Structure 1
Amino acid sequence: MAWPMIRQLLDQASPRGSELHGLFMDPDPPAAMLAQQAARQQPLSTDGLEGMTMEDRALIGLPLDAGGGAGGGGISLADLDWATMENLAKAYFDTFNLIYPIMDRQTFSGGLLASVISNGFDASVDTTLVFLVLALGVVALADAQNMPLGGFKTADDDNDDLTHRPPGVAFFNEARKRLGFSLTDVSLENVQVFALAGSDSLPSSSPVAWKTGADDASLCRLYFESCSRHMDFWRMSISASVACRALVTSNPAELQSPRANLIRRLSLNLELELPLTGLEKLEEVVGLPDFDDILLDAFYPESQDSHFKEHFASQVALRRLTVHFHNTLRNVLGPTPPFPPLASPSSSAELEPIAVTVVDGFFAQLDTWRSMLPQPLRWSDARAAHFQAPMPQPAYYGQGAMYPPQPALLQAADIFTADLTLAPTHYPYATDVRIALLRTRFHYNKYLIYRPFLFKALHHSSSVGTDDARCVAECLKACLKWPLIMSPTCHRKRLVPSLFLWSQNLLGVLIILHLSRQVPILQTIRATFCPATFDIDAGETVNLSIAWLRDLKDVDPTASWCWDVASRLYRLDDG
């Protein structure tokens, strides 16, 4: 959005032109944008279990006559029974922990949870971890029951000071009450806490933002991201990453301990995120996890049925490719802050052979990555929506029945559709979310590596040759019908990592597809180099992207900002 032609377009489309210019000139535009948006966001409720509402209790399956809080809603710690906590933990491990494998299920269920229940909910880091897992378990239940993204509110709708109560906030606040007591610990559990409170995964929204990002902290950031608290997520990601780096550097013996695999999984999970904190420099020291959990596979069939190990390893491999692409492009084309300078046609032409060779080589590597994926994860462009998925399950899961204990049957089908009027299918183990993320990241990387030619076409149209035009067409095709914005995954936004980055990426797609119908050279390329189905696919992509932003705009400040721009470009009403 910092490209000169796009800035000119945004100036015409948005009344916030001066605000946009200020953001683009900031040394760290994403952070500046998030800070601006966070200032306008309504606060989260601060109540713990005593502030639970009847709706909160109904969601987690607690009897409505349990406890004795105000209005019959609040409960005490004594009201939490084993069945409720086990069900919430199962909901977390069958969804979030398969996307971000930062907790060990057997250790948590067989040791940590039982210990906390036996010894009481004290101020220890173990209790903090339990509450964060329970909070994210509630989020997973809300996802399974298609709860509106707005959650519950504690005041009338006409009150300007609404306090938001997203699913799980009561358990999250119980964790926050205890977080300070272990804030300075250098331990695996402390890193987990930060990560669970914030939540993110792979990619970023700008060409220079292929960055990294770490377990108290990790759980904290997961929760913040699930309820669109993006600035809090960002800060928790930094805390988690710094805590993980301190753990690895101050206690290197931990990498030889029985917990080494978990540390490696956690470190790599954080390294897929942003911002850079130095953790990425320890990659060779930390190494890769081997996922050699024979007992885990025996006790929890979903460990095998979900293919989460293959998913995680594939993301790590893709991240390494992405970093290589980014570093090579910077060496060839030079750094780009705050936006690429307008070079003369002659200098642009001199770069052409190198750039075309480089990006074609990049895509060959990207396609090789796809062809070498484990068989259950592999796909082809001819069958982009096809996947061998576990059999779908009912949308509602009662206590002890989040997912079947037996290995799920598999079905081969087209699981992604652009028809949002169809009732979404719920697949076990967040299968559709993980598959959609993996495939969307592939398309996003393809879009990024061909994007320099789009810049050239927009700003140096007179020097665009046939190879350039072909590369622009590849960039345009890479924008189309990302599985993430198709059904059923688009209905499961609470589980989607980096939600604010995807909203920004989709705004970029909407801008590019708009320009492809307005700018003469892009019109020509679109008509000459793109397939006959491009217009139909582009129209569906626009509709899907608009639906994504429309769904989030009332609860997510980043989506609201993106909607403000997109609605003016496409002349949309606010409904």
Structure 2
Amino acid sequence: MQSEPLWQGSGSLEKEPDGSTTGTHAHQKLAASTVQAASESFDDYGGPPVAVIREMVRQLDSWRALLPRPLQWSDNDKFDFPATDPMTRRPNEPLFSVDQGPIPIGHRYNLDVVTAQLRTRFYYARFMTYRPFVYKALHFPELMTPDDCNCCALAIKSVCLWPLAMAPPKNKKRLVPHMFARTQSFMGILLILRMTTANDCLSRIVDEAHVVGRQEIESTMEIMLDWMRDVKQVDGIAEWSWGILEPLYGLQPEQ
């Protein structure tokens, strides 16, 4: 028997152990924080309301803000060096770039790889939080509200230009743990990014929401396809995925 989602409960008040209803009232207030959350029909879609997603994102951002200061970063400087030493200035050039050139770049203690892992995991978690709205846009476009469209655009924004797929970490794949997991993630993301040009609803969201740009999407496609092309020689999942991605993206078969 399939269990009922938590956000589709009967709404009855259950008292806390001390006899109060503070916790329940807080959840009800959160669920009613947007008109969309209060009026959305779950008969067909069955996904979480926007208010719940926003609370999860708020908690994720709070986690990042509570990291030790040298590990903290903002979305505006996600490509920059971490502030490991408060007494010295950070380099002017970014730590991560789409192309580093022909000269290999090495950092002490593999700072680029460990920093890329932390930041990429954060953006993957953010993407997973917003992902239900990508599903809704693809399968229930007629039910999309402005809040839904914004969350869908944020999901696409969250997968763009992951530091782990950029240089110099992309040239050190042997140092990336559980590389097969990245292969599966990149495969799913590349399918979604392809749909931003093939699906009318997703294409309109990208063009009208002004949250993520086409250039970001194209650059992400390029670096993730490069990753898949490289690892398919040693990763069976990547080799299988390449058989799907190659015709989907109109790539020339390799000789």
TM-score tier after normalising by the smaller chain length: 0.7 to 0.9
Q: Does 1:444 align with 2:139?
A: no
Whether the 8 Å CA contact 2:50–2:148 is kept in 1: the answer is yes
Whether the 8 Å CA contact 1:388–1:410 is kept in 2: the answer is no
| Aligned residue among 368, 378, 382 for 2:72 | 378
Gap change, CA 1:388 and 1:448, over 3 Å in 2:
closer
How far apart are the structure 1 equivalents of 2:142 and 2:110? 48
Q: CA deviation at 1:411?
A: 4.7
| Aligned residue among 218, 227, 252 for 1:539 | 218
Residue type of the alignment partner of 1:547: D
Match of 1:131 in 2: none
Matched residue of 1:565: which SS?
helix
How far apart are the structure 2 equivalents of 1:330 and 1:375? 37
How far apart are the structure 2 equivalents of 1:556 and 1:410? 40
Whether the 8 Å CA contact 1:389–1:427 is kept in 2: the answer is no
| Aligned residue among 505, 508, 529 for 2:209 | 529
Whether the 8 Å CA contact 1:348–1:463 is kept in 2: the answer is no
Whether the 8 Å CA contact 1:451–1:472 is kept in 2: the answer is yes
Whether the 8 Å CA contact 1:503–1:559 is kept in 2: the answer is yes
| Aligned residue among 188, 191, 201 for 1:508 | 188
Residue type of the alignment partner of 2:173: K
Whether the 8 Å CA contact 2:130–2:152 is kept in 1: the answer is yes
Match of 1:360 in 2: 54
Whether the 8 Å CA contact 1:418–1:486 is kept in 2: the answer is yes
Q: CA deviation at 1:518?
A: 1.0
Q: CA deviation at 1:420?
A: 4.9
Encode CA deviations 1:529-575: one digit per residue, 9 max, x unaligned: 133x6111111100000100111111221211121111121011233
Q: Does 1:548 align with 2:227?
A: yes
Encode CA deviations 1:504-550: one digit per residue, 9 max, x unaligned: 1111111101101111111111111133x611111110000010011
Match of 1:469 in 2: 149
How far apart are the structure 1 equivalents of 2:102 and 2:57? 34
Structure 2 spans left out of the alignment, 5+ residues: 9-39
Match of 1:559 in 2: 238
Match of 2:17 in 1: none
Q: Does 1:347 align with 2:48?
A: no
Gap change, CA 1:566 and 1:389, over 3 Å in 2:
farther
Match of 2:199 in 1: 519
Q: CA deviation at 1:417?
A: 0.2
TM-score (norm 2): 0.78
How far apart are the structure 1 equivalents of 2:176 and 2:252? 26
Q: CA deviation at 1:423?
A: 2.6
How far apart are the structure 1 equivalents of 2:234 and 2:46? 44
Structure 1 spans left out of the alignment, 5+ residues: 1-328, 334-344, 391-408
Whether the 8 Å CA contact 1:387–1:415 is kept in 2: the answer is yes
> Once superposed, which parts of structure 1, at least 4 consecutive aligned residues long, lie more than 6 Å away?
none
Gap change, CA 1:520 and 1:556, over 3 Å in 2:
same
Q: Does 1:494 align with 2:188?
A: no
Gap change, CA 1:467 and 1:431, over 3 Å in 2:
same
Gap change, CA 1:458 and 1:350, over 3 Å in 2:
closer
Q: CA deviation at 1:350?
A: 8.1
Q: CA deviation at 1:366?
A: 0.8
Match of 2:106 in 1: 426
Whether the 8 Å CA contact 2:73–2:82 is kept in 1: the answer is no
Matched residue of 2:81: which SS?
strand
How far apart are the structure 1 equivalents of 2:45 and 2:236? 43
Q: CA deviation at 1:372?
A: 1.6
Whether the 8 Å CA contact 2:45–2:140 is kept in 1: the answer is no
Encode CA deviations 1:252-298: one digit per residue, 9 max, x unaligned: xxxxxxxxxxxxxxxxxxxxxxxxxxxxxxxxxxxxxxxxxxxxxxx
Gap change, CA 1:350 and 1:521, over 3 Å in 2:
closer
Match of 1:569 in 2: 248
TM-score (norm 1): 0.36
How far apart are the structure 2 equivalents of 1:348 and 1:491? 47
Which of the two has higher C-alpha Rg? Answer: 1
How far apart are the structure 2 equivalents of 1:437 and 1:500? 14
How far apart are the structure 1 equivalents of 2:239 and 2:42? 40
Gap change, CA 1:377 and 1:351, over 3 Å in 2:
same
Gap change, CA 1:350 and 1:488, over 3 Å in 2:
closer
How far apart are the structure 2 equivalents of 1:448 and 1:558? 21
Whether the 8 Å CA contact 2:232–2:238 is kept in 1: the answer is yes
Summarize the alignment of residues 108-147 of structure 1 with structure 2, pairs less than 5 Å apart: none
How far apart are the structure 1 equivalents of 2:5 and 2:114? 30
Gap change, CA 1:415 and 1:463, over 3 Å in 2:
same
Gap change, CA 1:347 and 1:330, over 3 Å in 2:
closer
How far apart are the structure 2 equivalents of 1:369 and 1:379? 12
Residue type of the alignment partner of 1:497: P
Encode CA deviations 1:128-183: one digit per residue, 9 max, x unaligned: xxxxxxxxxxxxxxxxxxxxxxxxxxxxxxxxxxxxxxxxxxxxxxxxxxxxxxxx
Q: CA deviation at 1:351?
A: 5.2
Whether the 8 Å CA contact 1:424–1:487 is kept in 2: the answer is no
Gap change, CA 1:561 and 1:524, over 3 Å in 2:
same
Q: CA deviation at 1:425?
A: 1.2
Match of 1:416 in 2: 96
Gap change, CA 1:550 and 1:432, over 3 Å in 2:
same
How far apart are the structure 2 equivalents of 1:388 and 1:448? 25
How far apart are the structure 1 equivalents of 2:224 and 2:131? 19
Match of 1:186 in 2: none
Higher mean displacement: 535-544 or 424-433: 424-433
